[in-house]
């Protein structure tokens, strides 16, 4: 079991350190999204790397002559850069479409990570549902990266149906675990119908 008090304190300690280390001009709108309390810490970390373009993709490894082929192994069709993984790849695109339909984020914004993140940031919907959407996005990026790593390092074939089911389950469990004191009846009904 997670100690809620310890978990909350740790979260804010890390956030405070990050804000101290990060100069104001480098603070992006998604910093607020990242520290939403519905985000699982390891999901938050991978989303943070992805939004900054810091995930070590095959295209990067190829540039540094670490590997011979820069292509995406999930679809074998295209350079493995962050925009491809999130979510131009034919495999991950199916996942983002399903999660976006599930949580109701904007149709046009669904194939590029930064556009999805911006769309969630600007949408007029309430804070609660925005935070649930970010948790869904963070979980999606984490699971795409994990699936890609398992394929590369363990030759484990992806199971995309299980993946989206796990993302939904993760998000629901985390939100229930840290359920806010004040949630409107409308938001509660929306969440319970997910
Ligand atoms: Zn691909």
- E-assigned strands of the chain? none
Rounded to the nearest whole angstrom, what is the distance from the C-alpha of residue 75 to the centroid of ligand 1?
Answer: 4
Distance (Å) from CA 118 to ligand 1 centroid:
23
Q: How many angstroms does the Cα of residue 182 sit away from the middle of ligand 1?
A: 41
DSSP count for the chain of H helices, then E strands:
10, 0
Please check whether residue 122 lies inside any domain of the structure. yes
How far apart are the C-alpha atoms of 26 and 21, rounded to whole Å? Answer: 10
Q: Residues with Cβ < 8 Å from 146, sequence gap 6 or more?
A: none
Q: What distance in Å separates the CA atoms of residue 171 and residue 3, rounded to the nearest whole number?
A: 19
Tell how far the Cα of 166 is from the centroid of ligand 1, in angstroms: 21
Asked, for residue 9, whether it belongs to a domain, the answer is no
Distance between Cα 34 and ligand 1 center (Å): 25
Is residue 12 domain-resident?
no
- Per the structure, the count of domains in the chain is 1
Q: What is the pLDDT of residue 2?
A: 42
* Distance (Å) from CA 78 to ligand 1 centroid: 6
- Is 74 part of any domain? yes
Q: Is residue 19 part of a domain?
A: no
The answer to whether the beta carbons of residues 136 and 171 sit under 8 Å apart is yes
**What's residue 109's pLDDT?**
54
Local mean pLDDT, 10-residue blocks, the chain (194 residues) = 47 54 57 80 92 91 86 94 94 92 74 85 86 94 96 94 93 93 91 94
Instruction: Please tell me the predicted confidence (pLDDT) of residue 171.
Output: 94
Full-model pTM: 0.83
């Amino acid at each position: 079991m997670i100690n809620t008090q310890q978990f909350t304190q740790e979260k804010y300690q890390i956030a405070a350190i990050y804000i101290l280390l990060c100069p104001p001009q480098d603070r992006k709108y998604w910093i607020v999204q990242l520290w939403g309390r519905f985000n699982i810490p390891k999901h938050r970390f991978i989303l943070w790397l992805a939004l900054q373009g810091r995930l070590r993709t095959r295209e990067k490894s190829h540039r540094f002559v670490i590997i011979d082929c820069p292509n995406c192994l999930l679809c074998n069709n295209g350079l493995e850069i962050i925009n491809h993984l999130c979510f131009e790849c034919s495999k991950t695109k199916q996942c983002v479409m399903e999660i976006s339909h599930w949580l109701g984020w904007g149709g046009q914004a669904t194939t590029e990570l930064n556009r999805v993140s911006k769309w969630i940031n600007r949408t007029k919907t309430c804070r609660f549902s925005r935070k649930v959407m970010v948790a869904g996005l963070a979980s999606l990026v984490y699971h795409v990266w994990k699936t890609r790593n398992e394929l590369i390092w363990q030759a484990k074939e992806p199971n995309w149906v299980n993946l989206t089911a796990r993302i939904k389950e993760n998000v629901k469990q985390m939100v229930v675990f840290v359920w806010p004191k004040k949630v409107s009846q409308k938001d509660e009904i929306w969440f319970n119908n997910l």
